[in-house]
Amino acid sequence: MTRTSLCPPPCPDAAPASGYISSLSVPETGRPRRLAVLGATGSIGVSALRVAAEHPDRYVVAALAGATNVTLLAEQAAAFRPAALAVLDEARAAALAALLPAGYAPDIRIGPAGYAALAGAAEVDVVVSAIVGAAGLVPTLAAVAAGKVVALANKESLVLAGDLIRETARRTGAVILPVDSEHNALFQALGGPGLPDLPLVERLVLTASGGPFRTKPSDEIAGATPAMALAHPTWAMGPKISVDSATLMNKGLEVIEACRLSGLPVSMVEVVVHPQSIVHSLAQLHDGSLLAHLGPPDMRVAIAYCLGYPARLPLSVPRVDLVKLSRLTFEAPRERDFPCLGLARRALRAGASHPVVLNAANEAAVALFLEGRLPFMGIAATIEAALCAHAGEALPDAAAILDLDARVRRAAEARA
């Protein structure tokens, strides 16, 4: 596989419009915050509900959305009794209704339109956007368009539509609070919404665990199976994100997300491998200082910071024992063995539509890999082929973005 070319050639290093994506304040209402958790049955959604359960005086769960795991969604709904639920299709809606306890009859919505309705509902203050992949774009945009506080775990929304989300947030006053541990770490280190220390930044440093293949030789990586790729050493995540971590595409998407959030160019965002997963990100300032956020590898820390902002909530997570830990190590990523990281950087430089192609090809390729229809290194090869076939196009709205996404997925499927 060729790893040194990308068609068309990348343009010079460019950044999105300057300034942080979020507005400056989270509104206080004097009552518990009403939450909509989209992707409630995934790892982020489950963790968000654990945070809400730990602080019942602060949060009311107003809406829950899942896709296919109706059994878990029914258990969550029975525990929190939200007024509205959403699932992927009519069959799952019927199955969900049958699992709910007697006397509890929430409004059950269907599919992307249902997720979007929950995200924009007047009865919701804070939307936890944790749907995996491009499927999270429409509900995230609906939440931003409605001026909500959005605790954003769906990085793909910013990869696909960063400029559109930025523009919409500025117009509506929506507040974007990053849930990804790396971006949440930078958010905390640099001063919260508005990031007052951002003009002082020389570079942002995103840390990566290195995934399950960090120390494996190249031939073993090439022969990796889905079971091997899913065995993440430090984080408990869903299958798609676990594979993205194994290829380092997760970090590539986070590089794009960092640029979308901060307005900084890709040349100012670096990735280092940190296998202990204790330092979640760092910012180097122009006087040589490094501001870092340290914490346990538990997503509840970042989620609670977003749900409670500007308050910092007490949380029953494991504490870091620095003496027991004894050392923190950092190393450069092996980009020859993990080319997805470089492909993500080059896609961002190539133009606004190229990250859409990158993400769509990756989602399709990961699905093929998990089905046993594509070898591990075929994921990067599929992404590069899609990027080379793409000449760039205008993407004025979400419909155009999703149309390109669908075309790239079909082409990736056809190559398998």
pLDDT at 15 over 70: no
pLDDT of res. 352: 87
* Gap between the Cα atoms of 206 and 39, Å rounded: 25
Checking if the pLDDT of 317 tops 70, the result is yes
For residues 195 and 360, the model is more confident at: 360
> For 20-24, 141-145, 179-183, 410-414, which range has the lowest pLDDT when averaged over its residues?
20-24
Whether the predicted pLDDT of 3 surpasses 50: no
Q: Quote the pLDDT of residue 262.
A: 86
CA atoms within 13 A on the CB side of 186: 30
Q: What is the pLDDT of residue 238?
A: 83
pLDDT band at 4 (very low <50, low <70, confident <90, very high): very low
Query: 61-74, pLDDT tens digit by residue?
Result: 999 999 999 999 99
- Return the domain boundaries, the chain: 33-189, 198-296+324-415
In CATH terms, the fold of domain 198-296+324-415 is Rna Polymerase Sigma Factor; Chain: A (1.10.1740)
Equal fold, 33-189 vs 198-296+324-415: no
Q: Is 33-189 a CATH 3.40.50.720 domain?
A: yes
